[in-house]
Structure 1
């Protein structure tokens, strides 16, 4: 039984087996290994320079510094973290801007056929907005990746963005909402960063609450607890140094929640961590140094999202500009590759509400500059 399969079964109460000894170890075994992808091999690059499996096509949605086709809005530089929100029969794709100063975030609205309807700014005047995360109440949490950075709650459907200092001041990266425990998980992009959760006083209101940090041993798997951060404002002592025994992670990046599990990536060691919230344990879902046979397909781990089927899609910062796929049975493969953009990184992967479109960006495009960002949409027979 694979790890995520076991987790789903235990949460649903479908498994009555007592896991002990070697059987427990098998259920929480080695990280994902190389295998053929569920969609087959990548074909030659298309007109947009994107290699995809058979049946999939790519389209350029927007380019930095240029008007988004079908609108009068100029797309931001250095597109980064993103998410999709259902909007009637259509949807909205939001994207951060990782420039400093300036930053901010933008939104593109699509109709039911995937045609762009409008685009606009939802946040401005901030600093180096890298990743972030969506909330169940349809707001976008835009995170500043700077020392003593803030989280800003933005409103893709209208309304002024609000700074949320109770969520802590540190080098924020990504956020993921857990509606079961009514918390928001947060990553920190430092070589000795921490993994946090914010417990709002009232779910749906991020104006007040408690910031907590992940406490565990030095191993790559085991049990964990949460401890309160005494001073979320990070002054005079940075948040990552306030709690003895909090676990250090090497460069926290993307974060994604589903089915009582939260995954997050660490770029310093090319790992994907899996926190099994129902069981109170954590482990490695992927480690590029433990992959066999052959060469690890996924390096430079960064933003992460998931499909309704249960597949994880992990974007590369560097590597060979791929989005790689980790299946529920712990197999890793390349899903797409962007050619001719070796000085860029892939950012902001997010599925449309129906799960049949994947949006993402190449942050610096072919130019290698923040002003050269390109935002794409891939359509095809995604597993749902």
Structure 2
């Protein structure tokens, strides 16, 4: 079952009823908490003229380029087509930014940039190689990176951002066109998106846990979501009979499951899962406690939408969502309460996409890439760092 126009209108109506009254081009208070004015990224003001790196930012913010595709950084050549990413704290007070490589034919993988406590780049290295179309993924509370292959039989690879342990494929998370993963830290379940026009929304529940209480990603059940057709947005979960998709794609194994038009980024915050679908330019909110799904943002609801080409999602401690645009206006847009406003815009990269947004562990810096740079060629990706009053 795909979300038909009629059903989508019902969900949209339900979304507006549950998230607040629609007013102008913004949504009033919603599960995305409206941060205080002193914290809100959406209150940072208008974007200024492009800086020397071609990035438009609010006053008080600055950009630097930390890597170009093809550039030799220490013993690692920064990869082409940089995509999904995340940051991890290191014991010396620094941090690591990991970035997927979305190349095909076993040319994909994951690269890492290591920064010291002063924010200086001190190392670069590979943590995964010889994989296909590593698109997005998700960080885990146990300090690993789950890198997703966006192919029909794509796997999820659990990677060590510090580069000490070899990456491992996690086939219990299913073989399908993986896009992104978010970990529900309270219930210790994983939620997954699928980048197909008829892609599904999945949940993984472990049967066993390690001594630290972390879920076993090799021992669990993978389920697919059905949006019950009663206008409430209620979700029903169905266990897949064959996550390996040996005989049938996972999205087709449960006829009652609901299709989502091009699943993209996904993020967990305080009992809500947020995810984007590019085919209809929507951002969804799934209330884990109530098991109900609603539309948080829809570009179709505005004559001149601020956010289009929804893609990767990250968030800050205040509960605001930062949504990257694939195309659109090459922006990262903040969804915060009743605000839908750009945080930044990259100029002159019209044939590229914003990918891999991630805040440093202390929330003081933002990393992201322009996947194909100014030329539109995957060999010309650019990875940025933004500093300022986050």
Q: Which residue of 1 aligns with 2:322?
A: 313
**Do the aligned partners of residues 74 and 179 (structure 1) sit closer, same or farther apart at CA in structure 2, a change above 3 Å counting?**
same
Secondary structure of the residue aligned to 1:337 is strand
Secondary structure of the 1:289 match is helix
Match of 1:375 in 2: 383
Partner SS state of residue 206, structure 1: coil
Question: Is 1:213 matched up with 2:201?
Answer: no
Do 2:19 and 2:296's aligned partners in 1 also have CA atoms closer than 8 Å?
A: no
Q: Cα distance 1:305–1:63, how it changes in 2: closer, same or farther (>3 A)? A: same
Partner of 1:270: 281
State how far apart, in whole Å, the 2-side matches of 1:347 and 1:225 are: 31
Query: Equivalents in 2 of 1:29, 1:243: separation in Å?
Result: 33
Q: Runs of at least 4 residues of structure 1 off by over 4 A?
A: 24-27, 30-33, 218-221
Instruction: Assess, with a 3 A threshold, how the Cα gap between structure 1 residues 226 and 47 changes in structure 2: closer, same or farther.
Output: same
The answer for the alignment partner of 1:340 in structure 2 is 348
Task: Determine whether 1:99 maps to 2:103.
Answer: yes
1:171-206 superposed Cα distances (whole Å, 9 cap, x missing partner): 000001112111111100000000001112224321
TM-fit CA distance, 1:219: 7.6
How far has the Cα of 1:25 moved from its partner? 7.2
Shift, 1:217, TM fit? 3.1
- The match for 2:161 among 146, 156, 164 is 156
Does residue 355 (structure 1) correspond to residue 346 (structure 2)? The answer is no
In 1, Cα distance between equivalents of 2:260 and 2:149: 18
Q: C-alpha separation between the residues in 1 aligned to 2:184 and 2:362?
A: 21
Shift of 1:244: 2.6
The equivalent residue for 1:261 is 272
Equivalent residues of 2:228, 2:236 under 8 A apart: no
1:118 and 2:123 are equivalent in the alignment: yes
- Identify which of 88, 95, 119 aligns with 1:85: 88
Q: How big is the shift at 1:229? A: 0.7
- Which residue of the partner structure matches residue 16 of structure 1? none
Asked if the contact 2:157–2:167 (Cα under 8 Å) also holds between the matched residues in 1, the reply is yes
Contact 1:98–1:130, Cα closer than 8 Å, also in 2: yes
Matched, 1:140 2:145: yes
**CA 1:30–1:165 in 2, change beyond 3 Å: closer, same or farther?**
farther
- Matched with 2:58 is 53
Determine which of 183, 186, 200 is the counterpart of 1:194: 200
Following superposition, the deviation at residue 162 of structure 1 comes to 0.4
Structure 1 residues 330, 248: CA separation in 2 closer, same or farther (over 3 Å shift)? farther
In the other structure, the counterpart of 1:238 is: 249
Aligned residue among 34, 45, 48 for 1:43: 48
Q: CA deviation at 1:211?
A: 0.5
Q: In the comparison of the two structures, how many residue pairs are matched?
A: 356
Q: Higher mean Cα deviation, 372-381 or 214-223?
A: 214-223
Structure 1's 320 and 196: CA in aligned 2 closer, same or farther, altered over 3 A? same
How far the C-alpha of 1:28 sits from its partner, in A, is 3.0
Aligned pair in 2 of structure 1 residues 282, 31: CA closer, same or farther (>3 Å)? farther
- What SS class does the counterpart of residue 45 from structure 1 fall into? coil
* Per-residue CA distance 1:313-353 (angstroms, 9 max, x = gap): 000000110110100x1321111110001000000000001
Query: How many angstroms does 1:221 deviate by?
Result: 5.3
Q: Tell me, what secondary structure is at the counterpart of 1:42?
A: coil
Please provide the CA RMSD for this pair: 2.0
Match of 1:28 in 2: 19
Residues 261, 276 of structure 1: 8 Å contact kept: yes
- Corresponding position of 1:21: none
Distance 1:325 1:192 in 2: 27
Contact 1:83 1:348 (C-alpha < 8 Å) held by counterparts: yes
- Counterpart in 2 of 1:65? 70
Q: Which residue of 2 aligns with 1:302?
A: 311
TM-score normalized with structure 1 length: 0.89
Whole-Å separation in 2 of the counterparts to 1:241 and 1:250? 15
CA change 1:361–1:218 in 2 (3 A) is farther
Alignment match, 1:287? 298
Give the alignment partner of residue 180 of structure 2, picking from 174, 179, 200: 174
